Amino acid sequence: MPMDVLVEARGLVKEYGAGRRVVDDVSFAIGRGETLGLVGESGSGKSTVARMLLRLVEPTAGEVRYEGGDLPAAGSQEMRGMRRRMQIVFQDPYAALNPRMRVREILAEPFSIHREKPVEGLAARLAEMLRTVGMEESALERFPHEFSGGQRQRINIARALALRPEFLVLDEPVSALDVSVGAQVVNLLRELQREYGLTYLFISHSMPLVRYLCDRVAVMQGGRLVELGDCEEVCDSPREEYTRKLIAATPEMPVSV
Ligand SMILES: Nc1ncnc2c1ncn2[C@@H]1O[C@H](COP(=O)(O)OP(=O)(O)O)[C@@H](O)[C@H]1O
Ligand SMILES: [Mg+2]
C-alpha cells in the first residue's frame, strides 16, 4: 500500500553566509501516523532540516509540502493557520519555558496566540493537558524552576499539544535528560502518538532510542542524507560506514520495551 504522505521535503537546501551549505539537497517523506527518525553527528544539519519543515527557517532552495500542497510563506495568514497543526519540542527543557510565567500561563499561551477558546473551557482544558502528560493539576500555579528536567519536558510537550496538532518535531527531546527519565518521556511520546494518531519527526543521536521509537530512519552527514530506510534494516545492516559508526557510538538500549 502506498504511504499516506503528510509531510514531504523536496530538495531542501540551506546556505548561510557566503554560500556555506549546511543542508544540501535533502528529500524525504513522512507518512501520516509514522515516526521518522533523523540521526547524524552534531552539526550535520538535523535541526536546520526540522526548522525548514516548520518554516521556522526559510529554505535557500527546495520545498516543503504538507498534505500534498506547498507550505505557505512564513508570516502569511495561511501559514499562521498551518502553525497550529505542526509543533516542535526542543532539546533543552530549561531554556524553552519562560521562568517568569506560571505553568497556567505557559499552557494557556497557545490559545491566546491563536485567539481560540477550548470548547470545554480553558480551565478544564489546561487540567486535561497536564493529565495527558502525567502531571497533577496543582502544577498550574507553580513556576518552571520548581520542576525537574523531565517534568519540564512534559510541560513543553503539553504546550505543544494544546491546539491538537497532527505533526510534532521532536528535536533531541530527551538528550538533556538522565537516561531513565528520558526513557519515561520517550514512553509518554509513544502513548501520545497512539492515542492521538500523531506524526513524528524524532531527531536523536541515540540509535537505540531511534530503533525503539521509529518506523524508518534518515541518516544525515555533513548536510546530506546518506541513508534512509526501515529502522530495523538500517540498524541491523547499515549500508554506510558512517551509519555503522553512529550505531557503534551509542551504547545499550536505554529503555525497557
Ligand atoms: N543561524 C545560523 N547561522 C549560521 N550557521 C548556522 C545557523 N544555524 C545552524 N548553522 C550551522 O549549520 C550547521 C548545521 O547545524 P544544525 O542544523 O543545528 O545541526 P544539528 O542539529 O545536526 O547538530 C552547523 O554547522 C551550524 O553551525
Ligand atoms: Mg540540532
Instruction: Give the cell for residue 213.
Output: 521509537
Contact call for residues 162 and 110 (beta carbons, < 8 A): yes
Residues with CB under 5 A from ligand 2 (ion): 47
Q: Of 3.40.50.10490, 3.40.50.300, 3.50.50.60, 3.40.50.10260, which CATH number belongs to 1-85+166-175+185-257?
A: 3.40.50.300
Contact call for residues 40 and 220 (beta carbons, < 8 A): yes
The 8 Å CB, 24+ separation contacts for 145-149 are: 145/99, 148/181, 149/93, 149/94, 149/176, 149/177, 149/178, 149/181
The H-or-E segment that residue 185 falls in is helix 179-196
Q: Which residue owns the Cα nearest ligand 1 atom 27?
A: 43
The pLDDT assigned to 83 comes to 87
CA of 40 to the centre of ligand 2 (A): 9
Q: Which residue owns the Cα nearest ligand 1 atom 25?
A: 43
The pLDDT assigned to 253 comes to 54
The pLDDT assigned to 252 comes to 58
CA dihedral 235, 240, 242, 248 (to 10 degrees): 30
The pLDDT assigned to 24 comes to 98
Alpha carbons 44 and 50: distance in angstroms, whole number: 12
The pLDDT assigned to 219 comes to 97
Q: Which residue owns the Cα nearest ligand 1 atom 17?
A: 45
Q: Which atom of ligand 1 is nearest to the CA of 40?
A: 22
CA-closest candidate to residue 244, choices 30, 39, 24: 39
Task: Report the SS3 class of residue 200.
Answer: strand
The pLDDT assigned to 228 comes to 98
Residues of the chain with confidence (pLDDT) below 50? 256-257
Alpha carbons 21 and 180: distance in angstroms, whole number: 37
40 lines ligand 1 (CB under 6 A): yes
- Phi, psi for 154 (deg, rounded to 5): -65, -40
Q: Which amino acid is at 43?
A: G
Interval 87-124: pLDDT, tens: 999 988 888 899 999 999 999 999 999 999 999 999 99
CA of 45 to the centre of ligand 1 (A): 6
Domain ranges (residues) in the chain: 1-85+166-175+185-257, 90-164
Q: Which atom of ligand 1 is nearest to the CA of 16?
A: 4
- Helices 149-160 and 122-132, axial angle in degrees (round to 10): 130
